[in-house]
Structure 1
Amino acid sequence: MALVAERGSDVVVAERVPGRRFRPQRISLTLLLLGTGALYLWNLGASGWANAYYSAAAQAGGESWWAWFFGATDSAGGITVDKTPAAVWVMGLSVRVFGLSSWSVLVPQALAGVGAVWLLYAAVKRTSGHTAGLISGATLALTPVAALMFRFNNPDALLVLLLTAAAYATVRALEKASPKWLVLAGAFIGFGFLTKMLQAFLVLPALGLAYLIAAPTGLGKRLAHLGAALGAMVVAGGWWVLVVELVPAGSRPYIGGSQNDSVLELALGYNGLGRLTGDEVGSVGGGAGWGESGWARLFGSEMGSEIAWLLPAALLALLTGLWLTRRAPRTDRTRAPLLLWGLWLVVTGATFSLMDGIIHPYYAVALAPAIGALVGIGAVTAWRARSNPAATGLLAAAVATTAVEQSLLLSRESDWLPWLRPVVMFGALAAAVLILLLPGLPWSAGRYVAAFAVVISLLAPAAYSVATAAQTHSGALPSVGPASQGGPGQGGPRTGGRGGGMGGLLGAPTPGAEVSTLLATDANDYTWAAAVVGSNNAAGYQLAAGVPVFAVGGFNGTDPAPTLAGFQQLVADHKVHWFIGGTLMNSDSGSDASREIAKWVAANYESTTVGGVTLYDLSR
């Protein structure tokens, strides 16, 4: 058997050697995955509980299957996290197998990152070859926001893995118009909904239109296959919602983030359309409070350092690939993945840019697979067409534009590795000039030019990713980058521009041993050892004491869970031992029940201070 490879304008036939087939490819892929694993797993436990909110839910799931199924923040099942619980399921299972620790909570995310890189490589390789797959996988692995989120326990890591798996399945479906692979893609999207609700659906236009346009079968069958995939998505994502809606409200945890104890309300409101419009009942502030919307948002101070390193190159690669394949047949296997990954990037990027509700910079990790795929496909497509001046011109422009963008991003950290910026700038410009000379260079020399261009383009994001991995991260809003002198990464966890505190809203407290011991004493005599306003406050005390703590009001303290009357009944039934004093910041919407509860407790029970913490003994 023989392999056919292209070298310039010649066709070279290379014999496959039995037992040694594809050995260089396997070695390079293994090195990519090992390197990714090292970056994401190295010193992983240094961040402690990272996002204590989800760590507490994983702790609860490791102790109670009931809490695990619903995604409750405590093992007694008081209230759920304000997301669907698939990510909590994975972490909870890890805690059950390995015991509760920072490592057992964080390692599923790191493995999800390695899996996403492998799936992206596999998807791109099937249409554009091994080299394109390697470039794509390396670009994803070395994107700073990926190095952040695959070492952190937010749901985004699992979401990216599932969306990448859906894209891989769609690529497989496109090869032979396979309904089985397309149905599998729909199922992955459904589980993506169970991870982070409607955000998973942002890739639907990309997957659906790519199949509708390019699948090698008739229009009727294409539509039928898409209908089957849509059905699989509904089943995979809807079964849990149906179960929750059928279980009586008093027999399950309250649905955190909702005002009416409803998953559908949460999915369509606070975590759905409200994120687009800014009308999020129960939120602590949307719109401009989370950064100005607009087309420049992905390049701005909030998101630029997270994702923009190779974003210009990805956009130029998309335009280059579409131009070079403009006369290709409908089912062309180069243009189809360009449509898939390009629409993923454009639709998701436009949504993130223009939405007026709550948005955090780390959301940009959902763009990383599309950017990686477009960079890999575009680079190899242009390389194969290097005899065309337009192709080499666009390839050179992509490298040069990348150099300019990365230089601007590096200027924000002027004291960090000051030599890196000129190296990237001048190295990339030199690579761009050499790319323009490709048609006149020998084939072997051209390979070195291409390799140099890839390395110089990945150098800055790689360094920034390593710097990100070297920092500890905690709180609800982690951010990328090195430790800045006097900044959040210096001598402590890096938590982002909004910090990890805000009165316990975005960061969890770390109580002393005296408080933890007090909460744990006689805890078995109560359903909840304590109650406190806000989920992050509850998480800090729960993880320290190892006992259930009721998060009054949920994440923002604005959920009516419980109401004042409901809490008074819990106290009368001796289900709550301690109330920990304090409230969260005011909200312009949502329930005031948590404030009413705090006022009632303060007015009716005597306070005591232990380790700087105000406590009320509700058993007296």
Structure 2
Amino acid sequence: MITAVHRKTRSWALPLICLGAAVLYAWKIGDGQFGNTYYSAAVKSMTGGFTNFLFGSFDPYGVVTVDKPPMALWPQAFSVLIFGYHGWALLLPQVLEGVAAVFLLHRTVRLWAGENVALLAAVILALTPVTVIIDRGNNPDPLLVLFLVAAAYALTRAVEGHRKWLWWCAFFVGCGFLTKMLQAWIIVPALVAAYLAGTSGPLRRRLLDVLGAGLVLVGSSFWWIALYDWWPGAKPYMGGSGDGSAWDLVFGYNGFGRLSGNGEGGGMMIMRSGQQTMSSFGGDPGPGRMFNDLVGGQISWLLPLSLLVLAVVVVTRSWGDARSRAGWVLWGGWLLVTAAVFSFAGGIWHPYYTTAMAPAVAAVSAAGLALLWRHHRRTALPAAIALSAAWAFVLASRDTSFHGWTRWAVLGTAAAAIAVLLAGRSRWALAAGLVPLLLTPAVWSYAAAQSTSSGTLPAAGPATGPTPGPMPGPAAAPGGPQPRMVLGGGGDGGAKLSDEQQRILGYARENGTEIALAVNSEAGTVASFIIGSDATVIGMGGFGGRDDTPSVAQLDRWLAEGKLRFVLSGRAAAAGPPRSPVQEERRRWIEQHCTVVDPSAYGGRAAPGARPGDGPVRLGGADTLYRC
């Protein structure tokens, strides 16, 4: 009877875990937020035409794409077509993707380590703070994680003897590539090593299997890249690239440039003269990055436990038979390789990228606790609980105003669980030991579910975090006030137009032509106009304002054909990071072809001390309307 009840309870466990994950991910997403407005604007533009949809155009006129392949935006576009353009319609696909990843992780780990371990892994993934906050937004990472977990599932089936699943594994990684490019390939070494370690037969046959999967990987990864670069008709310029090709984007700005910091392309400038790079959003590169003030609270709660478990498995050689060994290689390799790449990446790197580590942390931690319970109940297991509790205490102590009470609760419950373990008097000691491991991450995840937006740089934890230093871009002038990095975000992500912007846009629509308004600023400013209206608004320069689109030649053609009349830009030259050559060319073009519109024409307010026709224009901070 006890066994029957136990099995019946377990049959309900996974649906309850998925339901809990859905609540965490979906709570309050209908409160008007738009997540990352850069992608939200693109989704609206993508629903306006086939090539816009196919290539992920940022603006409705098809001038420039987003700086990634559009795989992650396609589900959002379909959702908008079905439900209309609302914030919750944009965010719903990511909620579903996050829940699907939790479900699929359970099915994968169950094949490797059994039902109980799989349920625990699903719980850990669902309660990982960075996963909760990222699944509440519209960045590409939720779909990337789902594809990577799907690849792990397929690899696990392949190790069981179903060799054709290895092709599916490669296909899913390729889909991940078209979601976030080379980041998806980080786990490929772990997948290959796990297959070779977990399968039998002649080495030549296994290597041929891997070679065949490699061909599938290349095809599923590059078909869209080839389609864009060889497209015979009109298409948007590839945002973030140095030469307008998808190939350059993959291996430049969004590829090796992310590792070295030397291939930023046109998408975002990295300041070097000020000893500041975009990698500073996650702290300086190095072995301690996963544990620092900016990243630690997102993913590192169970990292010490995971590393201890992997060390125990290697030292004691307790990896089991070939299939079990393949699982340890898969999940341990996934964790170690990803952590190493993220830790030492010298280019643009954000803390929320660590959600890609969460499935591996969950699988290794869950399987490791089961292993320690079976073989090291009074030695390594108490040490693991103590280590995890001590680290949770450190993380919670970094800002005691944000649920700081949990650090004492963690210490108390850990002490009690360790005492019970050492006494050996309770079969529920392991369950008690889970409380200090999951308490603070669960509280942080609950707090993340109460936030109204994941924003452009989503992060769980305190509402504000340490200032990493000057942020690259026109708003960060040396020696002046610097923007702070907001953790958790809030509001609508800047999706609403101000009254002044609405007046400017209304005037431009009434007096303009085919292109109602061109905004000479970074994409964040342009996105508000696209989201907040149905006007044909374009941006100049893509995400960071540095792409060579529209080119000066294109602006000349539009002007000659009567397609462009109004440009919204800045008024005066500003101190700050140097402009790129294409930005300078556009600045000069505006100076030569455009004059300031008197704010009284649209009922606006003039800048203090400004006169129509004053000075050269400034890139960024677009606040002045020009007639060209």
Q: Give me the TM-score of the superposition, normalised by structure 1.
A: 0.87
Deviation at 1:85, TM superposition (A): 1.1
Deviation at 1:307, TM superposition (A): 0.8
1:206 and 2:190 correspond? yes
Of residues 330, 338, 360 in structure 1, which corresponds to 2:328? 338
2:414 is matched with 428
1:476 and 2:453 correspond? no
1:569 and 2:560 correspond? no
Distance of 2:579 and 2:77 partners within structure 1: 30
- CA contact 2:285–2:344 (8 Å) conserved in 1: yes
Of residues 248, 254, 262 in structure 2, which corresponds to 1:271? 254
1:543 and 2:564 correspond? no
SS at match of 2:93: helix
Deviation at 1:86, TM superposition (A): 0.5
Cα 1:128–1:497 change in 2 (3 A) is: farther
Of residues 396, 401, 425 in structure 2, which corresponds to 1:415? 401
Distance of 1:399 and 1:261 partners within structure 2: 52
- CA contact 1:475–1:508 (8 Å) conserved in 2: no
1:616 is matched with 626
SS at match of 1:93: helix
Of residues 305, 310, 314 in structure 2, which corresponds to 1:313? 305
2:176 is matched with 192
Distance of 2:251 and 2:587 partners within structure 1: 30
- CA contact 2:29–2:453 (8 Å) conserved in 1: no
Larger deviation: 509-518 or 455-464? 509-518
SS at match of 1:76: coil
Cα 1:515–1:48 change in 2 (3 A) is: farther
Map residues 407-556 of structure 1 onto 2, 5 A cutoff: 407-438=393-424, 441=425, 445-446=426-427, 448-473=428-453, 475-483=455-463, 497-499=484-486, 510-512=497-499, 513-521=502-510, 525-527=513-515, 529-556=517-544
One-letter amino acid matched to 2:411: M
Distance of 1:507 and 1:586 partners within structure 2: 24
Deviation at 1:167, TM superposition (A): 0.8
Larger deviation: 525-534 or 420-429? 525-534
Distance of 1:420 and 1:16 partners within structure 2: 35
Deviation at 1:326, TM superposition (A): 4.1
- CA contact 2:103–2:122 (8 Å) conserved in 1: yes
Deviation at 1:394, TM superposition (A): 1.6
Distance of 1:462 and 1:363 partners within structure 2: 20
**Cα distance per residue 1:39-95 (max 9 Å; x no partner):** 000101336111110001111112222101001102221100011110111211111
**Which structure 1 segments of 5+ residues have no match?**
1-13, 488-495, 501-505
Cα 1:497–1:211 change in 2 (3 A) is: farther
**Cα RMSD (Å):** 2.8
Cα 1:296–1:207 change in 2 (3 A) is: same
1:52 is matched with 37
1:349 and 2:339 correspond? yes
Distance of 2:14 and 2:30 partners within structure 1: 27
Cα 1:508–1:222 change in 2 (3 A) is: same
Cα 1:300–1:528 change in 2 (3 A) is: same
Larger deviation: 578-587 or 533-542? 578-587
One-letter amino acid matched to 2:142: A
Distance of 1:281 and 1:589 partners within structure 2: 15
Of residues 194, 212, 219 in structure 2, which corresponds to 1:235? 219
One-letter amino acid matched to 1:348: T
**Cα distance per residue 1:315-360 (max 9 Å; x no partner):** 112223344544744x1x3222111011111111001111111111
One-letter amino acid matched to 1:466: Y
Cα 1:551–1:173 change in 2 (3 A) is: same
Distance of 2:303 and 2:341 partners within structure 1: 16
Cα 1:174–1:486 change in 2 (3 A) is: closer
**Which structure 2 segments of 5+ residues have no match?**
468-482, 488-492, 606-622
Cα 1:480–1:616 change in 2 (3 A) is: same
Q: Give me the TM-score of the superposition, normalised by structure 2.
A: 0.86
Cα 1:595–1:49 change in 2 (3 A) is: farther
Deviation at 1:476, TM superposition (A): 2.5
1:606 is matched with 595
Aligned pairs, how many? 577
Distance of 1:548 and 1:323 partners within structure 2: 63
- CA contact 1:467–1:482 (8 Å) conserved in 2: no
Q: Percent identity?
A: 36
**Cα distance per residue 1:134-173 (max 9 Å; x no partner):** 1111111111100110001111111111111111111111
SS at match of 1:533: coil
2:150 is matched with 165
Of residues 48, 52, 71 in structure 2, which corresponds to 1:67? 52
Cα 1:434–1:509 change in 2 (3 A) is: same
Larger deviation: 508-517 or 255-264? 508-517
